[in-house]
Amino acid sequence: MEPIVTVTGGRVRGFVRDGVSVFLGIPYAAAPVGPARWQLPQPVPAWDGVRAATEFGGTCAQSPYPAPIHALIGSDGIPGDEYLNVNVWTPDPGAAGLPVLVWIHGGAFSRGSNARPIYDGGTFARDGVVTVAINYRLGASGFAAVPGAPHNRGLHDQIAALRWVRENIAAFGGNPDDVTVFGESAGGMSVATLLAAPPARGLFRRAVVQSGNGSAVCEAGDAERFGGLLAERLGLEAGAAAFGELTPARLIEGQNAIALDLMLNPDPARWGASIVANGLGILGFFPVVDGELVPDRPVDVVAAQGDSAVPLLIGWNTDEFRFFTFPTGLAAGITDETLPLLLPRYGLDPAVADDYRANRPGASAADVFAAIITDAVFRDDATRMAEANPDAHAYEFAWRSGVADLGACHVLEIPFVFDRLAAAHDLTGPTPPQALADEVHAAWVAFATHGDPGWPRYTPDTRLVRTFDFPESRTVADPRGDELAALRKAHMRVNL
- 320 carries an active-site annotation: yes
Question: Coil, strand, or helix at residue 224?
Answer: helix
Beta-ladder partners of 134 = 86, 104
E strand or H helix at 179: strand 174-184
Among 105, 151, 410, 441, the one annotated catalytic: 410
First CA to last CA across the chain, in angstroms? Answer: 55
Question: Coil, strand, or helix at residue 392?
Answer: strand
- Rounded CA separation 88/120 (Å): 9
From the centroid of its chain, how far is CA 347?
Answer: 22
E strand or H helix at 465: strand 464-468
- Is residue 129 within 8 A of residue 166, CB to CB? The reply is no
- 393 carries an active-site annotation: no
Beta-ladder partners of 313 = 208, 393
Strands 130-134 and 85-90, bridge-based pairing: antiparallel
- Is residue 46 within 8 A of residue 10, CB to CB? The reply is yes
Q: What is the DSSP letter of 2?
A: -
- Rounded CA separation 453/431 (Å): 26
Among 82, 224, 320, 396, the one annotated catalytic: 320
Q: What is the dihedral of CA 303, 306, 309, 311, to 10 degrees?
A: 100
Rg (CA), the chain: 21
Phi, psi of 393 (to 5 degrees): -120, 135
- 237 carries an active-site annotation: no
Among 185, 190, 274, 473, the one annotated catalytic: 185
From start to end of 30-70, where are the E strands? 50-52
List the catalytic residues.
185, 320, 410
